[in-house]
Chains A and B, each alone.
Chain A
Amino acid sequence: SAVISQKPSRDICQRGTSLTIQCQVDSQVTMMFWYRQQPGQSLTLIATANQGSEATYESGFVIDKFPISRPNLTFSTLTVSNMSPEDSSIYLCSAYSGVQETQYFGPGTRLLVL
């Protein structure tokens, strides 16, 4: 299985600022994803991070608000821009291993926006 790390693990941010979350995988993976999980809720897919091209966003999520980079096969970043309290959530990075055809999750970043 892939081992995934995320930084920061948690943060408290002021309204109107931006936060960049980093995701590192210990091996090359086919696909990387970014999810959001509100307390007590299930996972909501934000976007698929594509290596070498623009991310693919799900309905309701836009690049200006959640810019994503994936410069190589083991690393991705998600930026939460111009934050509001509604952005308070857990943000999870995941990696899909084509060989094992399974998806593994990072430990998550807990974000609180004041």
Chain B
Amino acid sequence: QKEVEQNSGPLSVPEGAIASLNCTYSDRGSQSFFWYRQYSGKSPELIMFIYSNGDKEDGRFTAQLNKASQYVSLLIRDSQPSDSATYLCASRAYKYIFGTGTRLKVLA
């Protein structure tokens, strides 16, 4: 059973801090990785995707991939209360596999 695992949280961080969200995957054949943000009552929204080892930055978001450790992370700098949501990690080999999500709470 191929899996993507995330800590369900909630992860609470103060406003302005860095939020670090982590994800591990079991399928070594996974080629690409995605982070989605889902607000309560809304559908998932793609934030970032990453294919290569290392870091990928987009504004306040940085995705990190370590294929040797089968580990993906998402860093959110200068966290805002509006970042409070559930963050879903997904991997793709021949199909998408989603994690159960980490609930982030940014405290004002």
Contacts and interface: CB of A to CB of B under 8 A. Distances in A.
Interface stretch (A61-69, A79-87, A105-113): A105-113
28 contacts: A1-B46, A33-B96, A42-B88, A42-B98, A42-B99, A42-B100, A42-B101, A43-B88, A43-B98, A45-B95, A45-B96, A48-B95, A92-B44, A101-B92, A102-B34, A102-B49, A103-B34, A103-B46, A103-B90, A103-B96, A104-B46, A105-B36, A105-B43, A105-B44, A105-B45, A106-B43, A107-B42, A107-B43
Interface of A is mostly: strand
Interface of A: 1, 33, 41-43, 45, 48, 90, 92, 101-108
Nearest to A4: B43
Interface residues of B, number: 18
A106 B99 CA distance: 19
B7 interface: no
A25 B26 CA distance: 32
Interface of B is mostly: strand
Contacts of A45: 95-96
Interface string B16-50: 00000000000000001010100000111110010
Tell which of A1, A90, A103, A108 has the most Cβ of chain B within 10 Å.
A103
